[in-house]
Amino acid sequence: MTSLPTTYPTIRVTAMPADANPYGDIFGGWLMGQMDLAAGSVASHHAGGRAVTIAVEGMKFHRPVIVGDEVSVYATLVATGNTSMTIEVEAWRRGRHSDEAYKVTQARFVFVAIGEDRQPRRVAGMAG
Ligand SMILES: CC(C)(COP(=O)(O)OP(=O)(O)OC[C@H]1O[C@@H](n2cnc3c(N)ncnc32)[C@H](O)[C@@H]1OP(=O)(O)O)[C@@H](O)C(=O)NCCC(=O)NCCS
């Protein structure tokens, strides 16, 4: 049996019928949106201000998400540049009535910290 990671998720939400495609499974775009929200939360916290998505790398959908699943999104800052932050994001599903959990997607989201003028601004490095 596969279990959820032991760390706290950045986001946990129930997949609802309104998030499903015509076949009854969850839209990949909805899941990407949840991952973007989780990564954005980590990026904005680290930047201490506004941060926007500039790229999504290595997105892969391993398994489907079903209506009613509990979806947990784990977002971790793994690198910083001058103005950019790279956040590794995994989404996991757990069946509503089950203890079994599976990783369904993963990707690296790159965010850029921006100022009031919407231009890139420097962020602190990861160390210290
Ligand atoms: C974010 C934005 C202000 C950045 O301006 P820009 O002139 O494109 O930025 P730069 O070329 O100076 O790059 C900024 C940083 O992003 C990185 N970057 C740029 N393109 C990238 C890409 N395709 N993949 C990964 N990183 C990238 C650069 O390496 C740089 O990092 P560093 O400062 O840590 O070295 C501008 O691209 C923008 O407004 N984009 C739209 C963002 C948005 O609305 N997102 C939501 C989508 S609806």
pLDDT, tens digit, 9 for 90 and up, residues 51-89 = 999 999 999 999 999 999 999 999 999 999 999 999 999
Sign of CA dihedral 13, 18, 19, 22: positive
Q: Does ligand 1 have an atom closer than 6 angstroms to the CB of 83? A: yes
Going by C-alpha positions, the residue among 33, 36, 28 that lies closest to residue 54 is 36
122's tokens: 């420097």
Whether the predicted pLDDT of 128 surpasses 60: no
Q: Does ligand 1 have an atom closer than 6 angstroms to the CB of 37? A: no
Q: Does ligand 1 have an atom closer than 6 angstroms to the CB of 81? A: yes
Structure confidence at residue 111 as a pLDDT band (50, 70, 90):
very high
65's tokens: 């998400």
Looking at residue 19, its pLDDT comes to 95
- Counting Cβ atoms within 10 Å, is residue 10 exposed (0-12), middle (13-18) or buried (19+)? buried
The minimum-distance atom of ligand 1 relative to the CA of 80 is 34
Whether the predicted pLDDT of 127 surpasses 80: no
Mean pLDDT of 98-110: 97
DSSP 3-state of 32? helix
Ligand 1 midpoint to CA 114 (Å)? 9
Domains recognised in the chain with CATH numbers: 11-113 (3.10.129.10)
